[in-house]
């Protein structure tokens, strides 16, 4: 049974959730853009203060490990590591796509396949496929969506697509078995149940050496027009 601070910054949503025994008791989030560097520390301080808690009272710090935004993930992991270094608390790394899938499958509770998607720009998404019980069917990967994507699974299974990358799938995959859940974004509240499970199993990561799961290397681009 743990008291865990959950941090999620893998997409444009910046969120922090305080959970006890896997149940969220407080959450702060913003989905208006990539303001993570400004908001994340403030949200953490506010959520602890409003619940009359000190960071040393926590049992662990959990962070969404990716894949997702390179910058967002670095900000979230950096704060989580800092809190762990300062308090000696263990660090829990929660797979982002698995947490999002569990949040949907636990609500729908239907024998189907669940396919969370995070936008990776253009027609590419970070995705994986899970069954009703959150077991992995297809491992996490970055794929370019076309009319043949998931055709083998869609031929025999009802599939739910969701996440901020699923809109682009809807345009090219109008299969009968494809169903879309709109406005489903990953949040710190979604990683709470998995972080509790990992806490109970004592599956912690090394604070010094842990790195986010970027999936793809960061590529810096040069502006076409130079600013004088």
**Domain assignment present for 106:** yes
Residues 54 and 70 in one domain: yes
Percent of the chain scored above 90 by pLDDT? 80
Residues 131 and 161 in one domain: yes
List the CATH number of the domain containing 38: 3.30.420.40
148 CB-side CA count, 13 A: 0
Q: For the residues 149-177, what does the mean pLDDT come to?
A: 90
Question: pTM to 2 decimals?
Answer: 0.90
Residues 120 and 71 in one domain: no
Q: Considering Cα of 142, then 146, then 106, then 11, what sign does the dihedral take?
A: positive
Which residues form the domain of 118? 97-181
Residues 83 and 130 in one domain: no
**Domain assignment present for 211:** no
* Burial state string for 194-213 with b = 16 or more CB within 10 A and e = fewer than 16: bbbbbbeeeebbebeebebb
Please write the tens of the pLDDT for every residue from 30-64: 987 768 988 999 999 999 999 999 999 999 999 99
Q: How far apart, in whole angstroms, are the C-alpha atoms of residue 111 and residue 209?
A: 38
Q: For the residues 142-169, what does the mean pLDDT come to?
A: 92
Residues 132 and 163 in one domain: yes
Domain count, the chain: 2
């Amino acid at each position: 049974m743990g008291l865990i601070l959950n941090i999620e910054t893998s997409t444009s949503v910046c969120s922090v959730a305080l959970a006890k025994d896997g149940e969220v008791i407080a959450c702060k989030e913003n989905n208006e853009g990539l303001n993570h560097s400004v908001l994340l520390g403030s949200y953490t301080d506010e959520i602890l203060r409003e619940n009359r808690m000190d960071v040393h009272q926590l049992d662990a710090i959990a962070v969404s490990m990716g894949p997702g935004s390179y910058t967002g993930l670095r900000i979230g992991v950096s704060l989580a590591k800092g809190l762990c270094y300062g308090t000696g608390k263990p660090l829990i790394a929660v797979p982002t796509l698995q947490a999002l899938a569990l949040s949907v499958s636990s609500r729908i509770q239907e024998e189907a396949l669940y396919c969370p998607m995070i936008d990776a720009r253009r027609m590419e998404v970070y995705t994986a496929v899970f069954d009703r019980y959150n077991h992995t069917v297809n491992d996490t990967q970055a794929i370019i969506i076309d009319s043949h994507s998931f055709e083998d699974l869609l031929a025999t299974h009802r599939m739910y697509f969701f996440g901020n990358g699923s809109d682009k799938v809807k345009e090219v995959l109008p299969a009968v078995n494809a169903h879309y859940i709109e406005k489903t974004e990953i949040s710190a509240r979604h990683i709470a149940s998995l972080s509790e499970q990992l806490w109970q199993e004592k599956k912690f990561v090394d604070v010094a050496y842990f790195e986010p799961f970027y999936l793809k290397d960061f590529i810096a681009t040069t502006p076409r027009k130079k600013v004088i």
